[in-house]
Amino acid sequence: MSKAKVAIIGSGNIGTDLMFKVIRLSKTLEVAAMAGIDPGSDGLARAGRLGLATTHEGVEGLIGLPCFDDVSVVLDATSAGAHRHNEAALRPYGKRVVDLTPAAIGPYVVPAVNLDSHLSEGNVNMVTCGGQATVPIVAAVSHVAPVRYAEIVASIASKSAGPGTRANIDEFTETTARALEVVGGARRGKAVIVLNPAEPPMIMRDTVYCLVEECDRAAVTASVKEMVARVAAYVPGYRLKQEVQFRPVRAGDPLADLGGAGLLVSVFLEVEGAAHYLPAYAGNLDIMTSAALRVAERLAAR
């Protein structure tokens, strides 16, 4: 069976890792082209050595490549600002677009939670690395008890945060917080990102807090563990760091000001990268490319 062709815009760390994931892991996709804006980038050099079509003229260069007509899905691994330009340029050609930036032009998609609801969309947004890691947990808790307030802290190695990530910190927190509500089901969401300068670099760690009413704690734990297994099916390095924790929140507790008395559910996660191109500590980038690969495969199949 012939594979569907995809193109990648962005020849940095995320785009290059995504290229290797498609080549090594996908049974249904093949990379037809990579577009960047830096003619000296390692990603374009590697793509060229693999025999792929390349251009350093961005989306306009991609559209001019002979193979562009055969491309079914375009994966954009640039920045929020660049994606807005790229999406407008691609729109007349009817290509399906997977957006790995925080631009959020299309609906938020977290494969383990809501992919099936958005397979007909022309542009889908992969939220953020923190969103891909934590939204599934908030959704799992919401499945058992309404989440009044959800707060997540995503800690990533400073070395794994490239120029695009650093330039989009505001978009990261806003997009992630909104996805906690829209996809995760929280009444109110908040997101914090920490760039950890530790040496040697630490892998991605995420903390998820959910404020709920008193509920069946065993059911919450089971729902969280089931969701972790669903995410780990396409992100093998995704796992619980310790058991799910519960703490009563009573009147007078500062947390009660965020959603009233109830129960605080705390979930601690870590994400280790597969090291296809990026180092293993860059789980924040790996979860984005792994999730994007899962989405692209389903879009192309449809």
Of the listed ranges 92-96, 123-127, 183-187, 251-255, the one predicted with least confidence: 251-255
b/e string for 135-155 if b means 16 or more Cβ within 10 A?
A: bbbbbbbbbbbbbbbbbbbbb
One of 67, 129, 210, 215 is an active-site residue; which one?
129
Q: Which helix (H) or strand (E) holds 265?
A: strand 262-271
Summarize pLDDT for 20-43 with one digit per residue, the tens. 999 999 999 999 999 999 999 999
- Categorize the per-residue pLDDT at 260 as very low, low, confident or very high, splitting at 50, 70 and 90: confident
Q: Does 13 count as an annotated binding residue?
A: yes
Q: Does 296 count as an annotated binding residue?
A: no
* pLDDT on residue 255: 85
Q: Does 48 count as an annotated binding residue?
A: no
Summarize pLDDT for 113-171 with one digit per residue, the tens. 999 999 999 999 999 999 999 999 999 999 999 999 999 999 999 999 877 778 778 88
User: What would the mean pLDDT of 225-245 be, rounded to a whole number?
Assistant: 98
Q: Does 64 count as an annotated binding residue?
A: no
Q: How many CB atoms lie within 10 A of CB 52?
A: 19
Q: Does 165 count as an annotated binding residue?
A: yes
The tokens 């007349």 sit on which residue? 92
80: which 2 tokens?
A: 């929020």
**Helices (H) then strands (E): counts for the chain:** 11, 12
CA distance 194 to 231: 22
- Categorize the per-residue pLDDT at 208 as very low, low, confident or very high, splitting at 50, 70 and 90: very high
Task: Give 276 or 1, the one with higher predicted confidence.
Answer: 276
Which homologous superfamily is 129-282 in?
Answer: Dihydrodipicolinate Reductase; domain 2 (3.30.360.10)
* pLDDT on residue 167: 76
Q: Does 262 count as an annotated binding residue?
A: no
Would you call 129 a catalytic residue per the annotation? yes
- Which fold, 4-126+286-301? Rossmann fold (3.40.50)
Hey, what's the torsion of the CAs at 50, 54, 58, 59, to 10 degrees?
A: -100
CA distance 150 to 134: 10
Select from 65, 109, 26 the least CA-distant residue to 301.
26
Predicted confidence (pLDDT) at residue 302 exceeds the cutoff of 90: no
Q: Does 155 count as an annotated binding residue?
A: no
Predicted confidence (pLDDT) at residue 48 exceeds the cutoff of 90: yes
Q: Does 11 count as an annotated binding residue?
A: yes
Domain boundaries, the chain: 4-126+286-301, 129-282
Backbone phi, psi, residue 237, to 5°:
-85, 10
pTM for this one? 0.95
